[in-house]
Structures are given as structure tokens and as C-alpha cells.
Amino acid sequence: MENENLFGECLSEVIGTAILLLFGVGVVANSVQVGADIGWWELSLLWGLGVTMAVYITGGVSGAHINPAVTIGLASVGDFPWKKVGPFVISQIIGAFIGAAGAYFIYAEQFVEKTAANMTVFHTIAMGNISNPKAMLIELILTAVLVMGIAAMSEPLNSSAPKGLGPALSVGLLVAAIGGIGGKLTGFAINPARDFGPKLFTALAGWGSAPFTAHNYYFWVPIVGPLLGGILGAVVYKKCIRAYLPDVLKEGKAKEDMIGDILDDKQKVKIAEEKRNTEAMARN
């Protein structure tokens, strides 16, 4: 039963991540290759809606992580089992590969010539005047904000978190906002699978090694930055914010009282035993 459930969760992650990439790569291709009148804000918003749709469709099965930074971030603070991390991350990369392939199929006629410019329709790269270490730090910061937001919006003890279908829409808007505040600098990968899966696809689809060698071997940046950012965001939220939620503090006080009652009972038993031993010694 447990294996069946894990299979279903992984399948859900594949489908959810594929939906995200189909939306995201599709809108970039529509803008860059076809010339659709889509500004940066509209592009960021459509990426965010891709996240929202993926969460609506698959969230009930796997939680719709659709992002290794989310999966590893939650695992790092004990909110997700480490034994599921590997299967989830592999599923997310497969889903991103499939989503990129789907978008390519739709726009195949627009990619007759494989160039360094149209390669980045599928995955991210920093602006020419931004170094790889700086880009990594930008991705770290943006992903930390993303994971803090996801943790807050999915926290059942957070009274201000959106309810019902609200979290999915809110996470989508958060992704759009992240794209708006700093996305153009690095392409706001904020998701290692979203970048690595499409890089694998483009390498196999005719772009060769360029996806991995471009911009001084930039490929590691959207992996390392988001993973570190995911861990940072999860730790900051759990230790600096969640720990001070009123309901969490109440729950902690209740546990302390319960432990105190248990200790009091044990102390009473110990005193009773000592009294019996003293009386027995007096009789002897």
C-alpha cells in the first residue's frame, strides 16, 4: 500500500511539473518565437498561473511540490520524509523534461534553426553582465522567499493563511511577483527541475552541449542557488516565524503542561514508594 501511494505521488509530481513547464515554456515561445505581444509582467503572471493549475490538478495527491527546492527545503526541517526526496526529485525532472518536449512539439516549426538565442526559451540564463556567483545568490534569495511563502500559506496553524483553493492561487501570484521583482536578471528558475529537465531535452533535441556550456557553464547556478535557497527559506520560516505563531505557542504550552503532569505523577509514585520503604524498615 505504501509503495502504491508513493508511485501515485511520484506520478502526480511528473504530471504537475509537466503542466508547469508546458505553461511556462509555451508562453516564452509564444513571445520570443512568434512575437506575441506579451510583456514581462504578463509572462511572469502566466508562469504563476501554470503553478496554480499544477497545484489545483495534482496537489491533492502529492502536495504538488513540483520543485526540488521545495521538497528538500521541507525535508531539511523535518516536514517531509527524506526517503521520499529522491523519488520526488527524479519525478520532477522527468516532468520538466516532458513539459519542455510538449511545448517544443507545439512550436516545432518555429525552431527549425537551433540557436543560442532560442535555446533559452526552454531554460534560464543570466544577463550578460551578471556573474555566475552573483546569479546563484539572486536565485538563492528568490527561492528562499518562494519557500517561505509556500510554508506560510500551507501552514494549518497560520490563521492568516488562505483557505480552500486560496493557497494554489496565492502561490501562483507569489511566483509571478518573484518574476516581477527580479526575474529578468536570471530568468527566475527558482526550481532546479524546471531548469535541468529542459536543458536535458534541448541537449537531445539538437542544441548539443550548448545548454550546459553557455554563459561559462551556467547550468549549475539554477541548481545550487534554488536548493540552498529552499533550505534557507524553510529554516527561517520554521525557526523564526512558525515557532511564534499563537497557536503553535499554545500547543507548546499544552505539551509542557502534559509533561509536567506526567512528571508530577511519577514524583508522587516515587514519594509513595519511599514512604512504604521507610515504614517497612521501621517495622523491622
pLDDT band at 274 (very low <50, low <70, confident <90, very high): low
Residue 164's SS3 state is coil
Per-residue pLDDT reduced to its tens digit, 164-203: 778 899 999 999 999 999 999 999 999 999 999 999 999 9
H or E element in which residue 272 lies: helix 246-283
**Distances 225 to 173, 220, 245, 276 between C-alpha atoms, Å:** 21, 8, 29, 65
Q: Give the range among 48-57, 60-69, 98-107, 250-259 with minimum mean pLDDT.
A: 250-259
Q: How many Å apart are CA 260 and CA 50, to the nearest integer?
A: 49
Q: How many Å apart are CA 65 and CA 260, to the nearest integer?
A: 39
Do 193 and 18 form a contact (C-beta atoms < 8 A)?
no
